[in-house]
Structure formats: C-alpha cells, structure tokens
Chain A
C-alpha cells in the first residue's frame, strides 16, 4: 500500500538504525507521546535496533487511558437509564470504571452501542427518535474535529435527541506537566503525528525552547519512528532544541485550519483531570455554553458519588513514563486484555496492551 509499505522497508530501517548507532555518544531518554507510536515500537521491536544509550519512555498518548474514572462512571449510569442509548468508540466499552464497565452495563440491560465514526451517532439518533442518544466523546485533538462536527450536524438536522458526554483532552499541556515535573528525565520528544496533522506544530515551538527539549513531529511506521529518533538524537548530540517535522506528508506547520476552526466553534478550553495523572490546567475541551443543550453533563444531572480506583494498577506511573508495564505486579497475571484491571490494558494504544501483545 502506497504511503505505508515504503515506511516499513527493511533496508531503510537498517540504514537508519546504523546511523543512529554511529552518531550517538551519550545516554539519552526519548519519549514518544502517542500510544500508536508505542505500538509500532513494540510490534517492530525497534528497541532492539537502537544503541543501548537510548531509552525510550512511553508517553501518555492514549485518550482511552486518561479519560477520568468519574466520566466512565457517568457514562455507565447514563447507559443504564431506559430512555438512553449510549454510544462510543469500541475501546471505551471495556475501560474499568469504579465498579464495572460499559459492557457490563450492557449485559445488565443498558443500551450501549459501539460506533466507528461519530456520524454513526447522528444516524442512530435519527433512527431512534423515541430515545435519547448520548455520545461518549473522548479523544485528543485528532478526534476533536470529527466529534465537534456531530454537534453541527445535530443542529443542522434539527435533532432534539442527540447529546454529548465530552471528555476531550489536549496534548501540549500534558507535555508541559511532564517536562516541568521534578521527576522529569526526558531529553527529547517524538510528538504525536496525527494530533499535529490537525493542530500543526506551532504550539510546540515555545515548549521546546522553554524546556530545552528537541521535539520532532513523527509518524507511525517504523521508518517514521527511526527517522524521528535520528533527528532527535542528532539535535541532542549537537546541543539543539527546536521543533522539526518528520511527518511532512501529513503535517503542515499550521495544521488543518478548517478542523481547527470547528474545534474552536464548538468547544472551549477547560481544566481537565487525566486519569492516573491528575488535574492538568487548560488541558481539556468542553462544549461551549451556546451548545449547552447538547451537553449531557448539563442536560442529565448525573450524580456519581465518589469513585474508586483499583489498588494494584499503576497506570498513572506508566502514563507518565515513570514505570513500564512489566513493573506492575498484576501484568499478565490478574490483568490481561480479557480481564483488564486498568485502561492501558484495554486500549489499542495502551502501553500494557502493547507489551502484552508483543513481548514474551
């Protein structure tokens, strides 16, 4: 497949890894932000191609993992109401809330439907005029325009039974929290290519300068990851810290201006809790007040009384790159993709699921 195969080419991979090996003189820690990149790294055993001086730190780029447990609990409560159909992306259905997950809510009679595209939520709303449809909308900037678009569509089609439970998060504030932390050991960053496809990379320029950390916008295939790493290591070895774009085939500096416009038309920036990490100021998106009649949190007053995280799961430290899945006592024992104790074991972007699938 064009734009895929050539980025998996074994010869390019070999050359790039040789070059990285030949220029490195010191130890460097590089974080890949996006869980999709973590999966490529594990799947193609990229760490085995790297010199021992490079430590890859897996970042928090898993929207499903960082959705706060209170939001999952709210979604479960909504799903159990007889007048509601709750729809969301597949991964969300198995993420543990305090006592159960959405799939369990479904087995108890809750009406839960999995969708592939946010427009499916609109279709379901049109097909079920006697029900209220709540779309549990999560994601990073990548997914925000598509999710925002449903509110436009609902308005355009005059739908009165469509609502959104919105738990959107933004990447740059999370990067800043990690770089600011006393525990920070990150020397360079591969930023998330698809987030930047939408947003561009201007926001990262002041961050790279302020924290003296090179950042390379990077794609998701093995050649992308290795060339992103080569660019970061090259900068580090030469004492530079600017933003470079490895993923130019999809990412423009300014992003996609139409997508950015729909995000700012529908959503506004808010403080948001990240599961396992805590409250990050200005790191979320919420529905603007002019669209509050679509906001499920406002329309249905949903009472969740306290919440309860698993005692063994160390997802928080994993999402901050402080620990790896193998450090978790439950990994591959009590916690498996069949019976996940934490969100990183559920999501296709979670580090625990990547280690479960691709390591022995």
Chain B
C-alpha cells in the first residue's frame, strides 16, 4: 500500500489554491495528481506519487549523489577487501 512511483510533471494547475494539481506522465500514462504539498514545482520536475498525491519532488542532485556514494563505497570496500 505504500507503493509510490516516479513520474514527470507535464503541466501544473494552480487555479484552486486548496487543491493544486498536475498532469504527471508515468512512462506514457498521464494522470492527474494532487501536488498540494510540493513547493516550487516546475514543469519537467519528477515527483514521487502515492494514491494520487505527490509525496515529494525527486531531487536530481541527490539521485546523482546516491550513485556517487555507492561508487565510493564500492571502491572503499574494494581497497579494504583486496589488500
């Protein structure tokens, strides 16, 4: 039930201040998503969506950082394990 998927924001509708929505593309399937709790949302951003609500924006920098950390750990452990 905590399933949440990433999708790309293709348009944002802020006409109702109590219910901000966006059209979000999930691999070709476009759905309406409530984005009420996402600050500074822009078209082209990725959001992670659960039961029709965006939980958070996906942080591109953090995504890259994760792979950097993984690479670093892999190297670090290679050194430790290898010698």
Residues of A within 8 A of B (CB): 1-4, 6, 12, 15-16, 19, 22-23, 34-36, 61-64, 89, 91, 116-120, 138-140, 142-143, 145-146, 149, 152-153, 156, 192, 194-195, 197-198, 223, 227, 230-231, 234, 246-252, 256, 258-259, 262, 347-349
Which residues of the other chain, B, contact A156 by a CB distance below 8 angstroms?
A: 18
Report the minimal beta-carbon distance from B79 to chain A, rounded to whole angstroms.
Answer: 11
Report the minimal beta-carbon distance from A36 to chain B, rounded to whole angstroms.
Answer: 6
> Binary interface profile of B, 21-47, with partner A (CB < 8 Å = 1, else 0)?
000001100000010111100000010
The answer to whether A149 and B34 have CB atoms under 8 Å apart is: yes
Residue in contact with A197 in the complex, picked from B1, B48, B69, CB distance below 8 Å:
B48
The answer to whether A119 and B6 have CB atoms under 8 Å apart is: no
The answer to whether B52 and A146 have CB atoms under 8 Å apart is: yes
CA of A230 to CA of B71, assembled, Å:
12
CA of A119 to CA of B6, assembled, Å:
20
Summarize A's interface: helix, strand, loop or mixed: helix
Residue in contact with B73 in the complex, picked from A142, A230, A247, A251, CB distance below 8 Å:
A230
> Binary interface profile of B, 61-83, with partner A (CB < 8 Å = 1, else 0)?
01101110110011001101110
Which residues of the other chain, B, contact A251 by a CB distance below 8 angstroms?
A: 56
Which residues of the other chain, A, contact B80 by a CB distance below 8 angstroms?
A: 23
Residues of B within 8 A of A (CB): 1-6, 8, 18-19, 26-27, 34, 36-39, 46, 48, 50-53, 55-56, 58-60, 62-63, 65-67, 69-70, 73-74, 77-78, 80-82
CA of A197 to CA of B60, assembled, Å:
15
CA of A156 to CA of B69, assembled, Å:
46
Summarize B's interface: helix, strand, loop or mixed: mixed
Known A63-B1, A197-B55; further 19 A-B contacts with Cβ < 8 A: A2-B8, A3-B6, A4-B6, A19-B77, A23-B80, A23-B81, A36-B2, A118-B51, A140-B2, A152-B18, A194-B50, A194-B55, A197-B4, A223-B70, A227-B69, A250-B56, A258-B39, A348-B3, A349-B2
